[in-house]
């Protein structure tokens, strides 16, 4: 049996995380939007006010994937939730249980911390991922649409006055 180890990412993994994130951006056809640097990873994952956490999946001692997550809050269940921002496994290592091990590790974290949910988004064209999540029992929230304000819009809106 292969040895799959899931471990917390450390500052020494910053460059590895950058590589995984760039690989994920390529897979998701979003390379032009990927602005990740090791400096930003250091600041926002390992700095004074970490905004997220990451875990690394090792397969037979080699890093082959990661998951990056953070805490949100559900007003309806009145508990924190774990939001999975990214889960990525190297393409040639898919189908070996690494993705499932990553997701189950996050489930364990959520249960240990007393969270009410684990949530994430999946691209509608990524059928292998959709099938994987459904097979685990995930409920697809088809009636919700993700909304996003990008950094340039944030800057523009921050200078506007509220008009009633």
Q: What's residue 164's pLDDT?
A: 66
- Give the span between the Cα atoms of 109 and 136, in whole angstroms: 17
Residues in the chain: 164
Check whether 7 has a pLDDT greater than 90. yes
- 143 burial type by CB count under 10 A (0-12 exposed, 13-18 middle, 19+ buried): exposed
Q: What's residue 160's pLDDT?
A: 84
Tokens 């905004």: give the residue.
Answer: 51
- Give the span between the Cα atoms of 118 and 110, in whole angstroms: 7
Check whether 144 has a pLDDT greater than 80. yes
CATH class for domain 4-158?
Answer: alpha beta
* Pick from 58, 52, 46: nearest CA to 7: 58
Q: What's residue 74's pLDDT?
A: 95
Phi, psi of 51 (to 5 degrees): -95, -15
Helix (H) or strand (E) holding 59, with range, is: strand 53-59
Q: What's residue 1's pLDDT?
A: 53
Q: What's residue 2's pLDDT?
A: 65
Which of the residues 59, 83, 115, 133 is marked catalytic? Answer: 133
Contact predicate 118/106, CB 8 Å: yes
Q: What is the pLDDT of residues 80-134, one digit of tens each?
A: 999 999 999 999 999 999 999 999 999 999 999 999 999 999 989 989 999 989 9
Catalytic residue list contains 83: no
What are residue 130's DSSP bridge partners? Answer: none
Q: Where are the beta strands (DSSP E) in the chain?
A: 4-8, 53-59, 62-74, 79-89, 117-120
- Give the span between the Cα atoms of 130 and 145, in whole angstroms: 16
Domain boundaries, given as residue ranges, for the chain: 4-158
> How sure is the predictor about 162, in pLDDT bands with cuts at 50, 70 and 90?
confident
Contact predicate 88/23, CB 8 Å: yes
Q: What is the pLDDT of residues 28-72, one digit of tens each?
A: 999 999 999 999 999 999 999 999 999 999 999 999 999 999 999
């Amino acid at each position: 049996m292969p040895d799959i180890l899931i471990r917390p990412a450390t500052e020494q993994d910053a460059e590895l995380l950058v590589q995984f994130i760039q690989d994920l951006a390529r897979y998701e056809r979003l390379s032009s939007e990927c602005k990740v640097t090791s400096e930003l990873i250091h600041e926002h994952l390992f700095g004074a006010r970490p905004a997220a956490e990451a875990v690394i999946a090792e397969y037979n001692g080699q890093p082959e994937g990661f998951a990056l997550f953070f805490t949100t809050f559900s007003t309806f269940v009145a508990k924190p939730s774990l939001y999975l921002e990214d889960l990525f496994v190297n393409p040639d290592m898919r189908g070996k249980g690494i993705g499932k091990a990553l997701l189950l590790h996050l489930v364990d974290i959520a249960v240990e911390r007393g969270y009410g949910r684990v949530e994430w988004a999946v691209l509608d064209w990524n059928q292998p991922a959709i099938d994987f999540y459904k097979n685990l029992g995930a409920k697809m929230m088809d009636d919700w649409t993700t909304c996003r304000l990008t950094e340039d819009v944030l800057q523009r809106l921050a200078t506007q006055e509220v008009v009633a």
